[in-house]
Structure 1
Amino acid sequence: ALELLDGGDAFYGRGVSRAVANINGIIAPAVVGQDCADQAMFDRFLVGLDGTDNKSALGANAVLAVSLAAARAGAAARGIPLHEHLHRGPHRLPVPFMNVINGGAHAGNDLDIQEYMIAPTGFDTFHEALRAGVEVYHELRHILSERYGRSATNVGDEGGFAPPLSAPDEPLEIILESVEEWDYGGRIGLAVDAAASGFADGDGYLLDGRRLSGGELVDLYVELADRFPLVAIEDPFAEDDWASFREITGRLGRRLRIIGDDIFVSDPAIVRRGIEEEAANTVLLKVNQIGTVPEAIETVDVAFGAGLDIMVSHRSGETCDDFIADLAVAIGCGIIKAGAPCRSERTAKYNRLLRIAETTGLPYGLRERDA
């Protein structure tokens, strides 16, 4: 789905006045008075109004904004919370995969791997898990400041720290130290988003100054999984390296989640190919990547129908909207990726999940088959 930006000098080209004009001038006159109760029908109308495969006429940001507004309006009209309105299966409060060290495109350091995360899986409630994550995050801040100076605690795009590290295992060692300082060993797992398209180099990879083939990079990930309590690896290879995705899923797929983001781009058609090729066991879902709520739900249905998992995700460029918190609960995926417990556009999601937990008493944790 294509985000419509203004270009030019204003807002460094990132303005959205054209998308807003499309909402006010084209979409609003066409949808005012329509019933929001049937989200799928409403969004089919929106997609038809745009008339392109990638929503480039009106802009995916315009179409999605109206799709989300319709979902909220539908919930309000029924007098129920958004997650109940979006209900797709057994509701569950998700495990937050918190980005605590940033690298790659999200930071100004020498780390090639883009994200290092903690996953508090071994807790009974979302409140306990979030508290543990916050404690480890601030312990990590203390360790980095003591070891590398205060500048090491500057944060990247998603709220994780951006210390002067380069080797792919260094962040895992320091994060594990922070986890063990709070006696959370065995209750908090580690995860990485390699975003390997960012360090792909020709038909191989250039990681920390070393040139690796796809097979050699698989071996590196297996070594890391043996040394550290890894529970997930996202985008371990470039988006077009299907062979390496198949290899790592075959070798590590029973032990941890192999998550496809760039390879799938939340597109149900590409997810179907991934199912056929056994390229991953988890699909990262970004609603604005596919463009409407029903299209995102289709991706969920395709993945769950084939036995794959879903991780609902924020974007590196985020807002304070908390829609994805309700979506994660509604589909019962058991996993959400919303950044560090830092920066208001990240904590908005965690605060919403806390409110849902307080008012519903829903179970917390991974999906039943993985718990």
Structure 2
Amino acid sequence: MARIEKVIARRVWDSRGRPTVEVEIGTSSGAWARGIAPAGASRGSAEAIDLRDGGGRFGGMDIQQALRGIREEITPRLLGFDVSDQEGIDAALIELDGSPNKARLGGNATIATSLAALQAAAASHQMPLWRYLAGDTSVCLPIPQIQIFGGGAHAGRRVDIQDFMVIATGAKSFQQALEMTAEVYAAAGKLMGSRSGLMGVADEGGWWPNFSSNEEALDVLVQAIEAAGYAPGKEIAIALDIAASEFGREGSYRLALDDRTMGSQSWTEVLLGWLDKYPIVSIEDPLAEDDEAGLIEFTRSAGKNVQIVGDDYLVTNAARVEHAADVGACNAVLIKPNQAGTVTETRAALLAAQARGFATIVSARSGETEDTAIVHLATGWNAGQLKVGSFARSERMAKWNEAIRLEDSGLVSGGFIGRAALAGSR
């Protein structure tokens, strides 16, 4: 049994150059590991809250209070714990915080600690994290969703839709999926350059959007797939993250780029029209988190053949997933560890989704780090899908490259799951 002997909390920096929490844990077996908290820009109202200092330093984003909580409260509680007792460690974190949304100690403090403990446990067992999670179960490498154009809160709201992504549905391996995406990403950049629309990249590495309408972005994405030499919908399909809560409230949706405001039903008709016109196989947060009736109706209309993903609506919460299944809203869930605040709560949401027949997608955040743990979560938990951003910027590429290493090891016995992971493809 390896016990926690050392907990170190430090401030590091995320992909936006903002402070974030890193926790490093040392054990009696000599194993050390760390976890780093990411941060989202588009956030569900019910997700775990990052504890920030406020004030003028770093725009109010410093995390000294969170670090103090780790040093003064979390560390004394965890010293001596069996590092393999993930549920016990996370229960202690939840009890210490005492709030419904991790607001007192901070979800950034709890998830960094929880991930550090998980990775230290794997290291103590001398196992890669994915194998430690999978145990004797056969698991598969996930199919990636990869951003080509960034929008919404990730790109100064230059377009309303947050992510325009591709899924290499014709790929036979993870590495082939990346190869195909690399060609599309490059083709999209050339297309943007040829139309004087190349303005750099957004937060997650996707090309900065410069379009006259939201639909024009879809047209250019189809052109990029074709320019890369692939058949849209057959070899490479489109996935969207609408992030509708960013521009929708109380059943009213305002598309600033299109200069149009519409109700829930009219917005649903727009989305259904896009599904008919474009090779879209996955659509995330199509309606706002407070528009459950609209989401139920959209799922009823489109959900048999299209993956409908809940993110802001479900916030990696098992009870919310079960409720969504009961009422017929969504058929897939985005799994973000920092939304839940601990590994145990994250896994509970994933298991609830899998038990109800939902597809599951382990996801990074727009403010990311070099931590590659989510690749191992997606694989070891057999989630089926992985979303970490675009095909650029090292905090993104570190994760894609980690998945290549797992595939190249030959140890992931289930191989590459491919298109079968998508809801609507089963």
Q: TM-score range by the shorter chain?
A: over 0.9
CA deviations over 1:284-341 (Å, ceiling 9, x no partner): 1110011100100100111111111111111111111111111010121211110001
The aligned counterpart of 1:238 is 288
1:110 has 2:158 as partner: yes
Instruction: Kindly state the Cα deviation for residue 162 of structure 1 after the two structures are TM-superposed.
Output: 1.7
Residue type of the partner of 1:267?
A: N
Residue type of the partner of 1:92?
A: C
1:142 has 2:217 as partner: no
Residue type of the partner of 1:115?
A: D
Between 1:332-341 and 1:51-60, the stretch displaced more is 51-60
Contact 2:303-2:330 within 8 A present in 1 as well: yes
Structure 1: 4+ residue segments shifted above 6 A? none
The 3-state SS of whatever aligns with 1:65 is helix
1:66 has 2:116 as partner: no
CA deviations over 1:79-100 (Å, ceiling 9, x no partner): 1110111228541111111111
2 CA distance for matches of 1:206 and 1:58? 36
1:348 has 2:398 as partner: yes
The aligned counterpart of 2:302 is 252
The aligned counterpart of 2:247 is 199
Contact 2:364-2:374 within 8 A present in 1 as well: yes
1 CA distance for matches of 2:99 and 2:156? 37
1:4 has 2:51 as partner: yes
1:154 has 2:204 as partner: no
The aligned counterpart of 2:371 is 321
The aligned counterpart of 2:225 is 179
1:190 has 2:212 as partner: no
Contact 1:119-1:189 within 8 A present in 2 as well: yes
1 CA distance for matches of 2:251 and 2:77? 48
The aligned counterpart of 1:31 is 78
Question: Aligned match of 1:123 in 146, 159, 171?
Answer: 171
Instruction: Kindly state the Cα deviation for residue 24 of structure 1 after the two structures are TM-superposed.
Output: 2.0
Output aligned runs, 1:83-102, within 5 Å.
Answer: 83-87=130-134, 90-102=138-150
CA deviations over 1:189-232 (Å, ceiling 9, x no partner): 10111111122255321222122221111111111111111011
The aligned counterpart of 1:272 is 322
The aligned counterpart of 2:69 is 22
Instruction: Kindly state the Cα deviation for residue 248 of structure 1 after the two structures are TM-superposed.
Output: 1.1
Would you tell me which structure has more strand in proportion to its own residues?
Answer: 2
Would you tell me which structure has more helix in proportion to its own residues?
Answer: 1
1 CA distance for matches of 2:217 and 2:156? 15
Contact 2:299-2:329 within 8 A present in 1 as well: yes
Residue type of the partner of 1:32?
A: L
The 3-state SS of whatever aligns with 1:6 is coil
Instruction: Kindly state the Cα deviation for residue 354 of structure 1 after the two structures are TM-superposed.
Output: 0.9
Contact 2:362-2:385 within 8 A present in 1 as well: yes
Indicate how the Cα distance of structure 1 residues 79 and 177 shifts in structure 2: closer, same or farther if over 3 A, else same. same
Indicate how the Cα distance of structure 1 residues 57 and 204 shifts in structure 2: closer, same or farther if over 3 A, else same. closer
Residue type of the partner of 2:326?
A: E
The 3-state SS of whatever aligns with 2:80 is coil
The aligned counterpart of 1:289 is 339
1 CA distance for matches of 2:334 and 2:60? 28
Between 1:248-257 and 1:43-52, the stretch displaced more is 43-52
1 CA distance for matches of 2:50 and 2:147? 25
CA deviations over 1:99-146 (Å, ceiling 9, x no partner): 111122111363111110011121111011111111110111011011
Residue type of the partner of 2:349?
A: T
Residue type of the partner of 1:215?
A: Q
* Pairs aligned (count): 369
Alpha-carbon RMSD: 1.6
CA deviations over 1:234-260 (Å, ceiling 9, x no partner): 111110101111111111111110011
Can you give the 5+ residue segments of structure 1 that lack an aligned partner in the other structure? none
Residue type of the partner of 1:103?
A: G
Can you give the 5+ residue segments of structure 2 that lack an aligned partner in the other structure? 1-47
2 CA distance for matches of 1:18 and 1:31? 19
2 CA distance for matches of 1:212 and 1:166? 19
The 3-state SS of whatever aligns with 1:279 is coil
Residue type of the partner of 1:181?
A: A
Residue type of the partner of 2:158?
A: D
Output aligned runs, 1:30-49, within 5 Å.
Answer: 30-49=77-96
Contact 1:109-1:163 within 8 A present in 2 as well: no
2 CA distance for matches of 1:275 and 1:10? 43
Instruction: Kindly state the Cα deviation for residue 53 of structure 1 after the two structures are TM-superposed.
Output: 2.1
Contact 2:316-2:335 within 8 A present in 1 as well: yes
The 3-state SS of whatever aligns with 1:62 is helix
Contact 2:378-2:386 within 8 A present in 1 as well: yes
The aligned counterpart of 2:278 is 228
The aligned counterpart of 2:311 is 261
Contact 2:130-2:380 within 8 A present in 1 as well: yes
Output aligned runs, 1:354-369, within 5 Å.
Answer: 354-362=404-412, 363-364=415-416, 365-367=418-420
The 3-state SS of whatever aligns with 1:191 is strand
Question: Aligned match of 1:218 in 268, 286, 293?
Answer: 268
1 CA distance for matches of 2:145 and 2:401? 15
The aligned counterpart of 1:303 is 353
Residue type of the partner of 2:82?
A: D
Query: Taking every aligned residue pair, what percent have the same amino acid on both sides?
Result: 38
